[in-house]
Amino acid sequence: MSRVRERWGTKLGVVLAVAGSAVGLGNFLRFPVQAAQNGGGSFMIPYIVALLLIGIPMMWVEWTAGRYGGGHGHSSAPGILQSLWKSNPAVKYIGVLGILGPLIIYMYYVYIESWTLAYCFYSATGALSEASANGQLPSFLSGLQGLESNQWFSGMTAAFTFFCITFALNISVTYFGIKGGIEKLCKIALPALLIFGVLLTIRIITMDWGEFNGLGFLWNPDLSQLSSARIWLAAAGQVFFTLSVGIGVIMTYSSYLRETDDVPLAGLSAASTNEFAEVILGGSLIVPAAFIFFGPENIVNIANSGSFNLGFITMPEIFNGIPWGAMFSFLWFLMLFLAGITSSISLAQPLVGFFQDEFNLSREKAVMLFAAMTFILCQPAVWWLANGVMDDLDFWGGNFFIVLGATIEIIIVAWVFGIDKFWAEMHVGSNMRVPIVFKYVIKYVTPVFLIGILGFWIAQDWWDTITMKGVPAENVPYVLGTRIGIVCLFIFLCVLVKIAWSKRKHQTGKEVQS
């Protein structure tokens, strides 16, 4: 008996779900760091260019490819890419990257997400204010992470407890399905986090700015810096990260669309919501606040301390210096938690959808299998944070596989499936016509841009990355083990794909390509 395929309940629901996938911790933590490290306003020009030439075109590519693959009964990249390139039986193994990438990110993202839930609790109880007043916020964060013992934390008890709670919440939402779980949560969480972001932004911009203009830092470019390839690469990387393109998540979400659901308008709406959260809210919170409290001479040093320090140390310190600081601190971390969980549930769906479609498992069995696998896979990032495991997972899952996956996707869609066929497919059921110039951007400009990014990385960083140059000697076994684990996970997923398609072949008497 065939399983009834899940669908989104409403058009608004799918837009909010995809936007929720994109609006994550990176909007409020990674974006300000990238902007501050790369010249502020000088970063925004290549960022906008990358958004137009890579981000939005890739959104349309993934929405269209996902809806097309969903029409052939597939919700994950192996089946979706196979439906686009029917004559090549090997392409389904390339599509494994669209499951592997989200899975790798999930392995550490849920743990970071749990810190935001913990900080909500400690903001409400006053412990965070106490640590801030005593100048001990760095020690507070290290204690929560299990890196040191202090008056608040001893060992990993608190960190593991909040991780388990966060993990259980993610699994619970995923368990109730596309419409009853993911869509229902995103309809509540995304508007709520945007409201919290607006309230926090209003509080920041109504403060006494004095002589410092934090918004000016973000929007007044130094054009002489635009010759730096580093800034352009950083901007392109941020666009990839923030829109969640290239890792198969959007393709999976859009596979639950109906055949006549609007792709261009819905995709543009989701991308616009994400950019509002990132540029308008994320860009108006941390950088201006840091300018006010620490001055322009310290903003780059603060950014160089990393996203975690910026979000978990700098911001609580700022809130502790203003009236009603504990309340604003609670709203800040609740906003981050909601942004985190709407993203992490999207990372779970590619593998859950793969189990459902290719092994004909029920939603409940697929989610329980996913939960058992990922609870084990998350443990290295939890227990070996100090040994570089999370950083290495973040590089491969959150950087390299995103760019590699996007490059493969757009070449298959624009050059194998065919740009004319893609263009017609994208506009089925559409209420708007995408400007014709994007047809040529998708076929020529975006692939060249992506190949260029990969080329730069190979030329500049490939060998140093592979040989673990700069990795402390004591961390080398952990990083090497992480990489061996990623390779084993890729092989394991390829075996699952082989089993699934062999089962189809046995049932039908021929290789199923679509």
Which conformational region is residue 468 in: left (phi greater than 0), alpha (psi within -120 to 50 degrees), or beta? left
Residues 8, 370, 65, CA angle at the centre, nearest 5°? 45
C-alpha closest to that of 333 among 23, 119, 95: 119
pTM, entire model: 0.91
Q: Where are the domains of the chain?
A: 11-380+396-458+487-508
Compute the distance between CA of residue 338 and CA of residue 124 in angstroms, rounded to an integer.
Answer: 17
Asked if residues 194 and 417 have their Cβ atoms less than 8 Å apart, the reply is no
Asked if residues 505 and 511 have their Cβ atoms less than 8 Å apart, the reply is yes
Compute the distance between CA of residue 352 and CA of residue 342 in angstroms, rounded to an integer.
Answer: 16
Contacts 24+ apart (CB under 8 A), 318-321: 318/289, 318/290, 318/292, 318/293, 319/132, 320/129, 320/132, 320/133, 321/293
Q: What are phi and psi of 293, to 5 degrees?
A: -85, -30
How many CA atoms are closer than 13 Å to the CA of 311, on its beta-carbon side? 26
Q: Which residues, in sequence order, are CB contacts of 125 under 8 Å at separation 6+?
A: none
Which CATH number is associated with domain 11-380+396-458+487-508? 1.20.1740
Compute the distance between CA of residue 110 and CA of residue 163 in angstroms, rounded to an integer.
Answer: 7
Sign of CA dihedral 27, 279, 204, 302: positive
Compute the distance between CA of residue 383 and CA of residue 80 in angstroms, rounded to an integer.
Answer: 36
The owner of tokens 């970071």 is 112
Asked if residues 498 and 67 have their Cβ atoms less than 8 Å apart, the reply is no
| pLDDT tens-digit profile, the chain (514 residues) | 456 788 998 888 999 999 998 888 888 888 877 877 777 778 888 889 989 998 999 999 999 999 999 999 899 999 999 999 999 999 999 999 999 999 999 999 999 999 999 999 999 999 999 998 888 888 999 999 988 888 888 889 999 999 999 999 999 999 999 999 999 999 999 999 999 989 988 888 777 655 556 666 667 777 777 777 678 877 887 887 788 788 889 999 999 998 889 999 999 999 999 998 888 887 777 777 766 666 666 655 665 655 677 788 888 888 887 888 889 899 999 999 999 999 999 999 999 999 999 999 999 999 999 999 999 999 999 999 989 899 899 888 877 888 888 899 999 999 999 999 999 999 999 988 999 999 999 999 999 988 988 887 788 778 888 888 888 999 999 999 999 999 999 999 999 999 999 887 766 655 444 4
Tokens found for residue 420: 């004319």
